[in-house]
A and B are shown apart, each in its own frame.
Chain A
Amino acid sequence: MRRRGVPSLVLLAVLTLVLSAGGVADFAFPLRANSVRLAVIADFGNGKQFQIDVAQQMVKSRAVFPFEFVITLGDNLLTGSQPSDFDKDFAVPYKPLLDAGVQFYATLGNHDKTNERFYKPFNMNGATYYTYKKGHVRFFALDSNYMDPKQTAWVETQLRGAGNGDWKICYFHHPLYSSAKSHGPALDLRKVLEPLFVRYGVDVVFSGHEHVYERVLPQQGIYYFTEGASGELRAGDLTPSAITAKGFDADRSFMMIEIAGDDMYFQTTSRMGVAVDSGVIHRTIRPASASVPHE
């Protein structure tokens, strides 16, 4: 019943993680030809110096690791929706990146106004949820503020139609898994989305909302990252739990990602330029029949 409509040869990604041992300062991206390179930020739009520091660190990092685009996990404009807020919270801090042609692909957080979807630099084209492809990676930008049956059906249709060869990466504001104290996991959302993610072989999920960084141990074969500290911070809010693979709540941070073939290299960098987490996720394709069962 659960698998009705799923092609018999649907492949599910199975991922293994190889962490770089010890420190992460010497982590290097392979910078392979035709790889997909991006940065990840969330909960950034407050216009404060900390956000500007992170943005400047992104510019510095880009000189070494030339990411082509940035995905935002929501709370893009935390101070309001007046024209000046767009400038203060976004256009000014990221001007060097925007001027360099770096594209941003936004999702909405609980502090965002729906009309941000019309702001061209966010590349939402008037939609609160959308999908796009970069190289061999299919991205699904979702609206976790309002996961109504219409959006849920859309997610299923898009995931099912995305094929099996590409990476599938979903991102949205509210984390399905979290060990932070302020909010914790969005269980209602998990109940709806996780079965779809498992069934259709989503590889990685990025969320924000919690103002910390956390990498969660694979849940039903899927890697979950929370990066909600690219401007805001709740220092000490993370209580590492059994699902925590790595956490950082001492300063603001952002992530850089390179996806080359079946490998996803990631590094999380603090506002001060210190690499606080890094690793490689290796994706192995196998038939859906060998997939991990879900709830």
Chain B
Amino acid sequence: MIAKRWIRCRGVSGLVALSLCVAATRMLAGQGAALSKEQADDAAAFREFSARVQEYVKLQKTVESSLPALKSTDLPEMIAAHQQALARKIREARPHAKAGDIFTHAACEAFRHASRAALAGPHSARSRAYMQRGDAPNPGMRLAVNGLYPDTEPITPVPPALLAAFPPLPVEVAYRVVGRTLILVDVESRLIVDIARLTLPPAS
């Protein structure tokens, strides 16, 4: 009798387990599909981001070609004059530039996903903390598209893991990190080209 009940219970448990397995497999398959859709969306967003960066660099090069070429010089005045003239001309060339022009909504999502993956794990958590320590830039500093990255603020070293996860950039522009915000800066003019706020995961 006991044996029969045990077998019946086992049979029921087996059915439940089988059902759970099927359900779990379906769920995982669904998640996989969702994940691949997310990956595909992110890849497309990064392609669009890179195309927009190239557009910006084309404009920047056109603008810079109208200025005397900057070569190594003993005169810091020449370096400063070039930086200021380039910044002014780029501003004039894209007067209506605004946040999101290059970091589109989809690109911001893609950068969030890439950041989260690149900064996952205990090792990278330490690196993340390292970025915030000591003389990190003031996370409350004013950031505006077409504004200058402040002369007096340090920069955060961008972790190599992030740079490897992000789309590569032409030498004319670079990523910068301020707190959780990702910035695209023009290297020579120090202009902020675009801003993606709350992109990086919190340090904790």
Contacts and interface: CB of A to CB of B under 8 A. Distances in A.
A110 B79 contact: no
A174 B169 CA distance: 22
B157 A145 contact: yes
B2 interface: no
A152 B130 contact: no
A85 B80 CA distance: 11
Contact of A184 (B75, B124, B133): B133
A134 interface: no
B71 A147 contact: no
A115 B189 CA distance: 9
Name the residue among A146, A174, A191 with the largest chain B CB count within 10 angstroms: A146
Given A121-B74, A150-B168, A189-B160, 7 more contacts: A111-B135, A114-B174, A119-B79, A182-B133, A183-B130, A183-B134, A186-B130
B76 interface: yes
Contacts of A152: 160
A149 B164 contact: yes
Name the residue among A80, A113, A118 with the largest chain B CB count within 10 angstroms: A118
A121 B160 CA distance: 29
Interface string B46-85: 0000000000000000000000001111111111101100
B187 A114 contact: yes
Which 3 interchain pairs have the tightest Cβ spacing?
Answer: A188-B127, A86-B76, A83-B76
A111 B174 CA distance: 16
Contacts of B82: 115
16 contacts: A81-B79, A81-B80, A81-B151, A82-B151, A83-B75, A115-B79, A115-B82, A118-B72, A120-B72, A120-B74, A145-B155, A148-B160, A183-B130, A186-B127, A189-B160, A191-B160
Q: What is the interface residue range for chain B against chain A?
A: 35 or more
Interface in A251-265: none
B76 A87 contact: yes
Nearest to B157: A145
Given A111-B154, A182-B133, A192 B160 contact: yes
B126 interface: yes
A112 to B, nearest CB: 8
Interface residues of A, number: 40
A126 interface: yes
A83 B163 CA distance: 32
A189 B151 contact: no
Contact of B157 (A82, A126, A144, A184): A144
A101 B33 CA distance: 66
A187 B76 contact: no
B161 interface: yes
Interface of A: 79-83, 85-87, 110-111, 113-116, 118-121, 124-126, 144-150, 152, 173-174, 182-184, 186-189, 191-192
A119 B133 contact: no
Interface of B: 70-80, 82-83, 123-124, 126-127, 130, 133-135, 151-152, 154-161, 163-164, 168-169, 174, 187-188, 190
Contacts, number: 109
B157 A189 contact: yes
A30 B77 CA distance: 42
Name the residue among B76, B126, B133, B151 with the largest chain A CB count within 10 angstroms: B76
Nearest to B166: A148
B73 A147 contact: no
Name the residue among B79, B130, B157, B188 with the largest chain A CB count within 10 angstroms: B157
A150 B164 CA distance: 9
B123 A115 contact: no
Contacts of A188: 123-124, 127, 130, 159-161
Contacts of A182: 133-134
B116 to A, nearest CB: 16
A174 B157 contact: yes
B135 A148 contact: no
B71 A183 contact: no
A147 B160 contact: yes
Contacts of B130: 183-184, 186-188
A171 B58 CA distance: 34
A186 B126 CA distance: 9
Nearest to B80: A83
Contacts of A148: 158, 160, 163-164, 168-169
Contacts of A79: 152
